[in-house]
Chains A and B, each alone.
Chain A
């Protein structure tokens, strides 16, 4: 459903992503791994439309979205979460989620009727809060949530837009083992209805969740394949996995 064709991005003289060709198939959890600075977040930025792509093409459901604005990609069914938590900190959990639901349910160029009368928005927001494990925390202001809860809300905002494909940029960043388990469980729950491109350093999570794994090193894709094949790939072990697995 997502096809990257020779996608590249340079920042000045630095090549961040270099000629990346990659497919995400409907229904899979596709993990994108690689050392720090490999260009993973840059690639997520390019796919989500936050960063312009210098060369190459990005197709989503067969349509060329290379030049599409970020908001239009969300409307097309392509949402993302951020590595560095980006939520509406002064809003409650419920207000955060209701806003994201509002973004894709009808026009928001409406100026008169109070949002609070739109019960459908808040009912759905409540359902998402339950799904991401924040039941009972709906009224809590996002800024005062625990780190793991903020990470869950971060993913929840992306899910609330009803994506077909969600880009999760290190959802487990900074999480303790228990919180990581909750996040893994969440991804297990949603994978039947949403395809996932998962950028993650937690190899335990990656090998438990991934249908396929792609490895990015210095902006270049050095391998794509099933988890067992990636684990055995000598180039991958040399470049990245060796030290991770040895640890």
Chain B
């Protein structure tokens, strides 16, 4: 019920902004929703599966580049480009996961990071498709009845996909597969000892998350009609991870809340100048990272289970 209320509010948001003639916020909101999808997909491996993947940006970026490269080559239909982006991201996740999941703990973190950085350098050196400078798309994808160029239409497309992803993840978490994944996170040795082929479950979980991450990438490429290798950089992986931790590891809404807080904060700090703070430190806005860091620290200290966890605990769980 609460979920439906949230989505009704999100659906009304652009109309309110339109009434106030402030469509910039619709665009910002689409961006936040796309990152919410990406963070939610990371939450599937990190939170539900207990696999601390530090390379999730690889799948996000791969999805974005597939859409970018296809668009430059003249394939602009979302019906073709997006599924290809998802498939490529899933394949990348299958290869990276198959190798990484043979390790555990810190080694798993490092090896996923290493694979993602390798992919980052591959796209940096891809001079045909922009290399360092990134790649500008001729425009957003088309869906047959027109392009997705209109920011309002675009917002609703992204919102619908986020809703589908969250619903899918909700179903997954309570399905047989979801139970097994949670059991593996809880006690991997025992899960194997009662007869579950643990490696296969973890790998499939990793691939599903990679595929959804690729879908988010396909969307982010459309968001500003531009893809940059920085989408694959380890800082991007870290950002997604921070979103999940902020919002709530293993909580359905964790990725959404985390994305909203982090990107919202970033926007607030760089776009609104606080008088008294500026008189103390005139160029504080150039160091948004520091301010965000302090706020994040406070949130993590006060809500160690993330904001979603906080809300749940208040209700007496």
Contacts and interface: CB of A to CB of B under 8 A. Distances in A.
A88 B193 contact: no
Given A87-B187, A158-B194, 17 more contacts: A69-B197, A71-B192, A71-B196, A71-B197, A74-B194, A80-B193, A82-B190, A86-B187, A86-B189, A86-B190, A89-B187, A99-B179, A103-B196, A107-B176, A110-B177, A115-B179, A157-B193
B179 A50 contact: no
Given A86-B187, A87-B187, A114-B174, A108 B194 contact: no
B133 interface: no
A99 B175 contact: no
A111 B180 contact: no
Given A88-B183, A99-B183, A115 B176 contact: yes
B49 to A, nearest CB: 14
A112 interface: yes
B172 interface: yes
Contacts, number: 94
Please classify how large the interface on chain A is, using the bins under 10, 10 to 19, 20 to 34, 35 or more.
35 or more
9 contacts: A74-B194, A74-B195, A99-B183, A108-B179, A108-B201, A109-B204, A110-B177, A115-B174, A116-B174
A17 interface: no
A112 B175 contact: yes
Contacts of A87: 187, 190
B195 to A, nearest CB: 3
Task: Give the most central of A50, A71, A72, A115: most B CB within 10 Å.
Answer: A71
B273 interface: no
Given A86-B187, A91-B186, A111 B175 contact: yes
A70 B193 contact: yes
A47 to B, nearest CB: 12
B269 interface: no
A161 interface: yes
B299 interface: no
Interface string A78-117: 0110100011111100000001101110011111111110
Interface size for chain B: under 10, 10 to 19, 20 to 34, or 35 or more residues?
A: 20 to 34
A107 B186 CA distance: 20
Contacts of B177: 108-111
Interface of B: 171-172, 174-180, 183, 186-187, 189-190, 192-198, 201, 204
Contacts of A157: 190, 193-194
A160 interface: yes
A74 B187 CA distance: 17
Nearest to B172: A111
Contacts of A100: 194-195
Contacts of A103: 194-196
A114 B175 CA distance: 4
A104 B195 contact: yes
Nearest to A154: B190
B179 A102 contact: yes
B190 to A, nearest CB: 5
A4 to B, nearest CB: 19
A108 B190 CA distance: 16
Nearest to B177: A111
A241 B195 CA distance: 36
Contacts of B180: 99, 102, 108
A70 B197 CA distance: 8
A127 to B, nearest CB: 17
A114 B178 CA distance: 9
Contact of B175 (A70, A75, A79, A113): A113
A48 B187 CA distance: 17
B186 A74 contact: no
A98 to B, nearest CB: 8
